[in-house]
Structure 1
Amino acid sequence: MKLILILLLISFVLSTNSTLKIKGLDWWQQEVIYQIYPRSFKDSNNDGIGDLRGIYQKLTYLKSLGVGCIWLSPILKSPMADFGYDVSNFREIDPIFGTMDDFDMLIRKARKLGLKVIMDYVPNHTSEKHEWFIKSVERIPPYTDYYIWRDAKYQNGKRYPPNNWLSNFGKSAWEWNEKRNQYYFHQFGVQQPDLNYRNPVVFEEMKNNVIFWLDKGIDGLRIDSVDYLYESEEFLDEPPSHVDGVSAEEYAYLNHTYTRFQPENIALIQTWREVFDRYSARGSTKFMVTEAYGKAEEVIKFFGISKRLGAHFPFNFLFITNVNKESNAIALRDIIQNWYKHMPHYGWGNWVIGNHDNPRPATRYGHFLVDGLHMLQMLLPGTAIVYNGDELGMEDTFIRWDQTVDPKALNAGPLKYQEFSRDGCRTPFQWDDTENSGFTKSLHTWLPVNPDYWRVNVKSELKNKKELITHLEIFRELVQLRKNIVFQRGDLNLYVLSNWVLAVTRSFNDHATYAIIVNLGSEITISNLYEKRPSLPRKMSVVIPSINSNYLKGHIINTNSIVLRPKASVVLTTSEEDWDIKPNIITHEDDNYKIY
């Protein structure tokens, strides 16, 4: 009987009618995780680049959003060939962002505000400027085999790489080093040599770096590119993908059967999870999330296999990789079902619609669909991970070739750079309508500010007239709504009301039932939810409308004839009394945000 009382039932009523039982929810399951790209968030010293003190200044804004955890993209010592993803020292803060004292100060203030802090850990490779690589080139023990070195192949007196493996940034993944007279392997840029995890000393070094940051008091790590950590020991050529229109130097030209998703990657993450759990036993849970793009059945293995736990969850990128402007309601339903279908019984869901590596949601799906996607992201079972600026509906900035700084785009050249560039989604955060959007007082920013900053910014969306709805207002109310027990522990039902209209309902015991209706199409729709779920009342009230829905909070809607404009969406409830959302009211005064 006691066991039954401590177990919470979440019933996902999907095509398989599967049921998942979980224990009481931990902080990482309840809170929204907010990703900060430090270079672009807030510049405190007016050099045109964001920094830790800038983040410190804006912590109260983040608190006012209702998020419970901030995730910092790379801030460690780096030559910045790939803007922090080429680490030259895993235990130092890069001076561009500040000092270790600045980091400690940020952690202390975040803790006072009740915010958790996690940070990026980039374990697949280091910078070529790292002491380890410099000594490895010189064959100085024990660094000789810290990286993956191979002899050249020779044919008719000409030197060739060991095999056909390609870099994620394009061209060969092998770079010749004259001093060592060998090739080194790099899955990403030539300045980012891959570590050799088959060397037990490297394995321990990288695990000890994890321990260092857990000792510093962070609440967790986001482990970057976990699908690349190991490569096949046989070094065989990879087979062609036969993808149309892809050149022989582009990464997509090959199927990466020997360089991605090797079983050893999962074993490594399982070993690190044991470290996280030891620290978690001392108090609050230390959280580990992994990043890998791939099929659900591949990515989900990072939850752990063979009865050993891996990550608390691997990022779910299906809304990024499998959804576009032409995706209909059936496609979205199938994507949602597919994740839960492959997720292990002990797993926990999560939803990502934007990050620093992909065009922003407002760019990919259109400005008016942003609210509907946030409704799904926030109100589906699982954790929501949000990229800074998406709460405002920020769009990608067009970056000319002469302004391009992303190495992935630069490698593609001036004819194809826009296809590969990540610069557009990394431009400065838009705080207000002053020069450079309040991001900096410098005349120049490391990337140009979006020209629409005068209308899309925190200040304007907060000071908008009360009768107008903004993306920011909707976002904050969704964050509060998801704290309701229905969304924390309730069931899930998915309904395709028409080819372009998806409905989601959430219920829990005797609490109010909620429905999310999203019109993905380009025409006005009239949908009948009552027909799909007759247990619902004939009328429900609007809890949260999208900016283009033509509804206001409290409007009563007939569930058998729900009218939605193109790309519009609404959250409905069966009981207004159960809606107890009281988002914080914040004011904008000289970059200080006050919480009342």
Structure 2
Amino acid sequence: MSLDRGTNMTGLARMDLAAATATRWWRDAVIYQVYVRSFADGNGDGIGDLLGVRSRLRYLADLGVDAIWLTPFFTSPMADFGYDVADYRNVDPIFGSLADAKALIDDAHRHGLRVIVDVVPNHTSDRHAWFHEAVAAGPGSAARERYIFRPGKGADGELPPNDWESVFGGPAWTRLPDGEWYLRLFASEQPDLNWENPEVRAEFESILRFWLDLGVDGFRIDVAHGMIKAEGLPDVGHADQVRMIGTDTTPFFDQDGVHEIHRAWRTLLDSYPGERIGVAEAWAPTAQRLANYIRPDELHQAFNFQLLVAPWDAVGFRAVIQESLETAGMVGASSTWVLSNHDVKRHLTRYGGGELGLRRSRAAVLLTLSLPGSSYIYQGEELGLPEVLDLPEEFLRDPQRLRNPDHGRDGCRVPIPWADVRPHFGFSLPGIEESWLPMPSSWGPLSVQSQLHDPASTLHLYREALRIRRRRQAFGDTPLVWLDSPEGTLAFGRGDDFVCTVNLTGEPVELPAPGRVLLASTAPATAGDAEPIAEGDLVRLAPDSAVWWERDDA
């Protein structure tokens, strides 16, 4: 489907838009995702909290990121670890208090860090006051109009209202004792809201204002593609619907009506000073459909998951990068780059694990950090953390495992190690024996403390890459220019003085050096191992490596 608004800009209009947005912080920001439960435990109960995040702000500032994104810390029974919200204006006691949230926001600003919080508008918890009221009020009540209730099919209404399936497996409907069914596209504890109801829209505008007034710099919008359902709730017509998400049209995701909501939210965000932003977690069947979410009057960013799911292959990577840049450029937006998050297996493991996965993951971050747009870092990737694949069964609590035991997300949510001190490596306070998920006994050398003393560590690579990125004129909105390079490699320039090369093969590859080495995931070598490398020298790029070069004639 072609874009129907904002995509037919003239060349002059695009230039004006580019000029107007070139200095906006979010267009090339590096944003660090904090999965609050697993970042740092400040009160000693084995669960990460806001006090723990606050205690590590200096680390994040020294790392060199521009903003932090906090996963939900609102009041919740934790059926889906905070993505089932019972009170959007308060903090769950597990994570602290509202005063802790305010202190964290203020402290982050003093450290030069902006704060983005997760908002969950598609559904609430079944323990939200609205849902309690809806259940008590009964069929046909105004309280039930806030959610999506329907009578069932069959002689006695014993069958679900349609064939929709939950993202977590099974029917997307749960029946109440009074016979009515409610829609819940995720867990049964997460009833979907009815966004056709003006009361729902007004409530969320109030929720956004509450947190904006508290000082947050923006929102990551969970399931931003899901609030509007097709009229009449028609059947899909076949099973295994989760495979359609992001690849095909469904009646419950990416309906055109969601854009009216996002336009209203953009107006609200723009009414506050300081460039507050909205970031869509949106899955759409085409790049063009995804671009709808970031048109000039809608949200500022949308997560681009295409590189995350791309195989380790130069042709595939280049195609994804090119399409992503072109699609975002159609609407005057900047692209985003994501390698891992709290919902997917860590990319070091996806790239093969062990030394192979580490080499590739180090190369991948230099690639993404040198691309035009904004980059997201998932906590612990700067330490080279792998997916934990052998968690004991009694610790596996992710509701997504109901769909497929192999697709649980617990392994990427294990707490991160701060010091080489067992059993929880500085994640919690001394004397605490267990963290909410157990940490591998081998993680001591991967801890922040250990890597700070090792100039060859992955942590040092990230810190240096972010330092260079921040000071270079070539980044920002400077376009990417592809350069010729050997098969299995990528090479591109940014501005007059910067080149990135990536060898995605398992063998050394020779090419003329485009300049002096600025930074390398694995150092290249000259034919005679002469140092330093000068522009024009024939060099060998190490297997699965990336190099940043500064041109001599800059």
Q: Secondary structure at the match of 1:110?
A: helix
Q: 1:303-318 alignment to 2 at 5 Å? A: 303-304=294-295, 309-318=297-306
The aligned counterpart of 1:520 is 504
2:292 equivalent to 1:265: no
Are 2:387 and 2:411, in contact at CA under 8 Å, matched by a contact in 1? yes
Change beyond 3 A, Cα 1:203–1:42 = same
- How far apart, in 1, do the equivalents of 2:300 and 2:170 lie? 35
Q: Secondary structure at the match of 1:184?
A: strand
The aligned counterpart of 1:137 is 135
Quote how far apart the aligned CAs of 1:523 are.
1.6
The aligned counterpart of 1:541 is 516
Q: Secondary structure at the match of 2:168?
A: coil
The aligned counterpart of 1:562 is 539
The aligned counterpart of 2:395 is 403
- How far apart, in 1, do the equivalents of 2:74 and 2:123 lie? 13
Are 1:394 and 1:456, in contact at CA under 8 Å, matched by a contact in 2? yes
2:540 equivalent to 1:571: no
Q: Deviations over 1:367-396 (max 9, x none)?
A: 111122111211111111111111111111
Q: Deviations over 1:393-412 (max 9, x none)?
A: 11111224332110111x13
Change beyond 3 A, Cα 1:349–1:288 = same
The aligned counterpart of 2:291 is 300
Change beyond 3 A, Cα 1:491–1:67 = same
Are 1:539 and 1:556, in contact at CA under 8 Å, matched by a contact in 2? no
Q: Secondary structure at the match of 1:267?
A: helix
The aligned counterpart of 2:8 is none
Change beyond 3 A, Cα 1:516–1:150 = same
Quote how far apart the aligned CAs of 1:557 are.
4.8
Q: 1:148-163 alignment to 2 at 5 Å? A: 148-155=148-155, 159-163=158-162
- How far apart, in 2, do the equivalents of 1:443 and 1:553 lie? 51
- How far apart, in 2, do the equivalents of 1:452 and 1:130 lie? 41
The aligned counterpart of 1:286 is 276
- How far apart, in 2, do the equivalents of 1:78 and 1:428 lie? 20
Q: Deviations over 1:389-446 (max 9, x none)?
A: 111111111224332110111x13xxx412x111111100111210111101321111
Measured on the aligned residues, the alpha-carbon RMSD in Å equals: 2.4
- How far apart, in 2, do the equivalents of 1:311 and 1:293 lie? 14
Are 2:360 and 2:545, in contact at CA under 8 Å, matched by a contact in 1? yes
Quote how far apart the aligned CAs of 1:554 are.
7.6
Query: Unmatched 5+ residue regions in structure 2?
Result: 1-11, 352-356
Quote how far apart the aligned CAs of 1:174 are.
0.6
The aligned counterpart of 1:117 is 115
Deviates more, 1:143-152 or 1:542-551: 542-551
Query: Unmatched 5+ residue regions in structure 1?
Result: 1-5, 11-18, 241-247, 529-537, 579-596
Quote how far apart the aligned CAs of 1:250 are.
6.5
Q: Secondary structure at the match of 1:160?
A: coil
Quote how far apart the aligned CAs of 1:461 are.
1.0
The aligned counterpart of 1:593 is none
Quote how far apart the aligned CAs of 1:302 are.
0.2
- How far apart, in 2, do the equivalents of 1:437 and 1:227 lie? 39
The aligned counterpart of 1:176 is 175
Quote how far apart the aligned CAs of 1:278 are.
0.7
Are 1:9 and 1:489, in contact at CA under 8 Å, matched by a contact in 2? no
- How far apart, in 1, do the equivalents of 2:193 and 2:60 lie? 36
Quote how far apart the aligned CAs of 1:79 are.
0.1
Are 1:22 and 1:346, in contact at CA under 8 Å, matched by a contact in 2? no
The aligned counterpart of 2:39 is 41
Q: Secondary structure at the match of 1:227?
A: coil
The two structures have a TM-score, normalised by structure 1, of: 0.84
Name the aligned partner's letter for residue 445 of structure 1.
S
Q: 1:424-463 alignment to 2 at 5 Å? A: 424-435=411-422, 436-441=424-429, 442-463=432-453
The aligned counterpart of 2:341 is 355
Deviates more, 1:329-338 or 1:294-303: 294-303
Change beyond 3 A, Cα 1:23–1:91 = closer
Change beyond 3 A, Cα 1:22–1:478 = farther
- How far apart, in 2, do the equivalents of 1:9 and 1:498 lie? 34
Quote how far apart the aligned CAs of 1:480 are.
1.6
The aligned counterpart of 1:231 is 229
Deviates more, 1:495-504 or 1:88-97: 495-504
Between the aligned residues of both structures, percent identity stands at: 33
Quote how far apart the aligned CAs of 1:288 are.
1.0
Change beyond 3 A, Cα 1:488–1:217 = same
Q: Secondary structure at the match of 1:226?
A: coil
Deviates more, 1:357-366 or 1:125-134: 357-366
Q: Deviations over 1:181-215 (max 9, x none)?
A: 20000111010000000111111111211111111
User: Of 366, 370, 373, which residue of structure 2 is paired with 1:379?
Assistant: 370
Quote how far apart the aligned CAs of 1:495 are.
3.7
Quote how far apart the aligned CAs of 1:227 are.
1.1
The aligned counterpart of 1:388 is 379
Quote how far apart the aligned CAs of 1:268 are.
0.6
The aligned counterpart of 1:3 is none
The aligned counterpart of 2:317 is 332
Are 1:128 and 1:192, in contact at CA under 8 Å, matched by a contact in 2? yes
Are 1:368 and 1:548, in contact at CA under 8 Å, matched by a contact in 2? no
Change beyond 3 A, Cα 1:423–1:548 = farther
Q: 1:432-511 alignment to 2 at 5 Å? A: 432-435=419-422, 436-441=424-429, 442-464=432-454, 466=455, 469-483=456-470, 484-495=472-483, 497-508=485-496
The aligned counterpart of 2:6 is none
- How far apart, in 2, do the equivalents of 1:256 and 1:356 lie? 25
Q: Secondary structure at the match of 1:517?
A: strand
Q: Deviations over 1:18-54 (max 9, x none)?
A: x966543112224311110000000011111000000
- How far apart, in 2, do the equivalents of 1:105 and 1:554 lie? 50
- How far apart, in 2, do the equivalents of 1:61 and 1:367 lie? 22
Are 2:481 and 2:493, in contact at CA under 8 Å, matched by a contact in 1? yes
Name the aligned partner's letter for residue 232 of structure 1.
A
Aligned residues: 525
Quote how far apart the aligned CAs of 1:451 are.
3.5
Name the aligned partner's letter for residue 129 of structure 1.
R
Q: Secondary structure at the match of 2:420?
A: coil
Q: Secondary structure at the match of 2:476?
A: helix
Name the aligned partner's letter for residue 491 of structure 1.
P
2:152 equivalent to 1:164: no
- How far apart, in 2, do the equivalents of 1:521 and 1:260 lie? 38
2:251 equivalent to 1:252: no
